[in-house]
């Protein structure tokens, strides 16, 4: 089988290490004129163009996007694709918001055609935002999962998703049973887990919408199949916490509900975690579980301020990734999400610098998902999921960028003023699946798929 060689040339940024544990300037790698060489979707060489140009195979001309900055594709650790159609739903806090907006919306995904339509729009909006991997909630309907993975597979994207499990405290059309949830999840795992770049995620919505038996069935699935992921919600809202503890009075904490069912483990992502206590952080650290920081959602619903520095305490650091949490979140753009993450950190008495922000959106997210050996960096051996950032995407960005003294200031300007307009192009496994300037349709499926 012949090898396909591709290349990209231009300015590039990537992370070498964790800027929450080491000085930020030692963790950022910036090359003003870099070359990325790619074979069969994987980066084989990365470094200064002047050093690597001579190794380009004859006839391979690098793609170039003058003025743009190559960056690892963004990683979204917590997002609900069915809720794309209800972004900006007005005026409720979490539990009322679920009843008023979310559940009626998700019932529409019993219709396969509707699920396919929304999945198509959602995947394109992720790519437009420069996001190349996401951990995605579908609905209780298996067809919602099939629709999502089928569209993701057409783009050859590295996506993680699963069928929501809910056997109580939800409308009849959104409830399954312990047995049906288990069997439908098992069938979906067989169809999609490690099918190409697709990965399956066992997905109990949250402790209040699953019985103890269903949470235990979720834990059994994780033990029965190698390499699965798990996602759910945790300590997002005071009323939610009070409700969960009333449903599980024998448990010492909200997190303990999940721990008792075997769900606190590596590759487990807990959304929000706004109201975690020290014991919870220690439990997550010891288990290798991760938290998804969802600032636009927490602010929009008035849920609270995530304690980022406490989560990352070097004495027992917990993996933290960044989540947009559409539809309570207000943007699929990680640049906009970092804009709000900075403000949340500032209100908490800390500052989030640009390198730390980039880490949360790329390598930190990959490490939280236990995929840090293949995602989140521009480096040999890593999958060639890349976005091109345009510092002059809008008149204001162009004006402000002209006064940046270095790449760190430029990054901070992008994460404060940028949004999906600042993404010039997005590559999946070395293929340009989105190009803002492409004539006609900006999206296209890889030619090799």
Q: What is the pLDDT of residues 221-278, one digit of tens each?
A: 999 999 999 999 999 999 999 999 999 999 999 999 999 999 999 999 999 999 999 9
CA-closest candidate to residue 386, choices 121, 65, 147: 65
112 and 154 belong to one structural domain:
yes
111 and 176 belong to one structural domain:
yes
Give the Å distances, CA to CA, from 151 to 32, 112, 118.
35, 13, 10
Residue 94 pLDDT class (50, 70, 90 cuts): confident
The residues facing 79 across adjacent strands are: 136
Rounded-to-integer distance, Cα 70 and Cα 45, Å: 14
Q: Calculate mean pLDDT across residues 17-21.
A: 97
Rounded-to-integer distance, Cα 179 and Cα 167, Å: 10
43 and 160 belong to one structural domain:
no
Task: With beta carbons less than 8 A apart as the criterion, state whether 175 and 215 touch.
Answer: no
Angle, alpha carbons 217-114-122 (nearest 5°):
80
Would 369 be classed as within a structural domain? no
50 and 131 belong to one structural domain:
no
Task: With beta carbons less than 8 A apart as the criterion, state whether 243 and 95 touch.
Answer: yes
Q: Which of 332, 350, 366 is the last residue of a domain?
A: 332
pLDDT recorded at residue 1 = 45
Two tokens, residue 178: 């312990």
Would 365 be classed as within a structural domain? no
The residues facing 12 across adjacent strands are: 31, 70
Percent of the chain with pLDDT over 70: 99
Q: Which domain holds residue 390?
A: 5-72+376-435
Task: With beta carbons less than 8 A apart as the criterion, state whether 386 and 36 touch.
Answer: yes
Residue for token pair 């933290």: 320
Q: What is the pLDDT of residues 21-36, one digit of tens each?
A: 999 999 999 999 999 9
Rounded-to-integer distance, Cα 70 and Cα 332, Å: 19
Would 315 be classed as within a structural domain? yes
CATH number of the domain that residue 64 is part of: 2.30.40.10
Task: With beta carbons less than 8 A apart as the criterion, state whether 162 and 185 touch.
Answer: yes
Angle between helices 178-192 and 142-155 (to 10 degrees): 20
pLDDT recorded at residue 97 = 86
Rounded-to-integer distance, Cα 287 and Cα 63, Å: 43
Rounded-to-integer distance, Cα 392 and Cα 201, Å: 38
Q: Calculate mean pLDDT across residues 123-152.
A: 98
Residue 2 pLDDT class (50, 70, 90 cuts): low
Would 353 be classed as within a structural domain? no
Q: Which of 332, 362, 387 is the last residue of a domain?
A: 332
pLDDT recorded at residue 91 = 80
129 and 256 belong to one structural domain:
yes
21 and 162 belong to one structural domain:
no
Count of domains forming the chain: 2
Report the predicted TM-score, pTM, of the whole model to 2 decimal places: 0.97
280 and 384 belong to one structural domain:
no
68 and 89 belong to one structural domain:
no
Residue 277 neighbours by CB under 8 Å, 6+ apart = 253
Would 371 be classed as within a structural domain? no
Query: What count of other Cβ atoms lies within 10 Å of the Cβ of residue 59?
Result: 6
188 and 302 belong to one structural domain:
yes
Q: What is the pLDDT of residues 128-139, one digit of tens each?
A: 999 999 999 999
Residue 95 pLDDT class (50, 70, 90 cuts): confident
Q: Which of 300, 332, 364 is the last residue of a domain?
A: 332
Rounded-to-integer distance, Cα 22 and Cα 76, Å: 24
- Edge-to-edge strand ranges of the sheet holding 431-435: 42-48, 28-39, 5-15, 63-72, 386-389, 423-428, 431-435
Two tokens, residue 169: 């405290």
297 and 161 belong to one structural domain:
yes
27 and 157 belong to one structural domain:
no
Q: What 3-state DSSP class applies to 263? A: coil
CATH number of the domain that residue 203 is part of: 3.20.20.140
Phi, psi of 18, rounded to the nearest 5 degrees: -90, 110
67 and 88 belong to one structural domain:
no
Rounded-to-integer distance, Cα 386 and Cα 25, Å: 22
Residue 4 pLDDT class (50, 70, 90 cuts): confident
Rounded-to-integer distance, Cα 60 and Cα 6, Å: 7
């Amino acid at each position: 089988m012949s090898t396909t060689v591709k290349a990209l040339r231009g300015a590039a940024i990537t992370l070498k290490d964790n800027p929450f544990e080491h000085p930020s300037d030692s963790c950022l790698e910036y090359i003003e004129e870099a070359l990325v060489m790619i074979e069969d979707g994987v980066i084989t060489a990365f470094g200064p163009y002047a050093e690597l140009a001579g190794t380009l195979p004859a006839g391979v001309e690098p793609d170039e996007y003058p003025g743009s900055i190559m960056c690892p594709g963004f990683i979204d650790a917590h997002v609900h694709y069915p809720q794309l159609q209800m972004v900006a739903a007005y005026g409720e806090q979490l539990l009322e918001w679920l009843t008023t907006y979310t559940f009626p919306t998700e019932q529409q995904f019993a219709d396969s055609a509707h699920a396919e339509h929304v999945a198509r729009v959602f995947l394109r909006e992720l790519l437009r935002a420069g996001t190349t991997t996401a951990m995605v909630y579908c609905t209780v309907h298996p067809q919602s999962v099939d629709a999502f993975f089928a569209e993701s597979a057409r783009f050859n994207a590295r996506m993680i998703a699963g069928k929501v499990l809910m056997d109580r405290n939800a409308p009849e059309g959104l409830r399954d049973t312990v047995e049906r949830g288990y069997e439908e999840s098992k069938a979906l795992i067989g169809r999609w887990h490690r099918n190409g770049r697709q990965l399956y995620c066992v997905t109990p919505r949250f402790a209040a919408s699953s019985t103890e038996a269903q949470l235990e069935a979720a834990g059994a699935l994780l033990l029965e199949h190698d390499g699965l992921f798990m996602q759910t919600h945790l300590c997002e809202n005071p009323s939610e916490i009070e409700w969960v503890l009333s449903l599980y009075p024998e448990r010492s904490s909200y997190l303990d509900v999940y721990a008792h069912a075997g769900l606190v483990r590596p590759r487990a992502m807990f959304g929000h975690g706004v109201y975690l206590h020290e014991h919870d952080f220690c439990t997550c650290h010891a288990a290798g579980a991760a938290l998804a920081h969802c600032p636009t959602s927490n602010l929009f619903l008035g849920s609270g301020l995530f304690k980022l520095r406490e989560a990352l305490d070097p004495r027992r650091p917990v993996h933290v990734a960044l989540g947009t949490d559409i539809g309570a979140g207000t943007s699929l753009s990680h640049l906009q999400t970092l804009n709000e993450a900075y403000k949340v950190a500032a209100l908490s008495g800390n500052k989030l610098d640009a390198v730390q922000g980039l880490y949360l959106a790329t390598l930190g997210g990959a490490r939280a998902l236990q995929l840090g050996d293949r995602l989140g960096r521009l480096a040999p051996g890593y999958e060639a999921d890349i976005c091109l950032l345009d510092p002059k995407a809008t008149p204001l960005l162009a004006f402000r960028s002209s006064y940046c003294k270095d790449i760190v200031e430029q990054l901070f300007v992008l994460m404060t003023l940028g949004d999906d307009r600042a993404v010039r192009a997005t590559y999946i496994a070395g293929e340009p699946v989105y190009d803002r300037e492409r004539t006609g349709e900006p999206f296209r499926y890889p030619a090799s798929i």
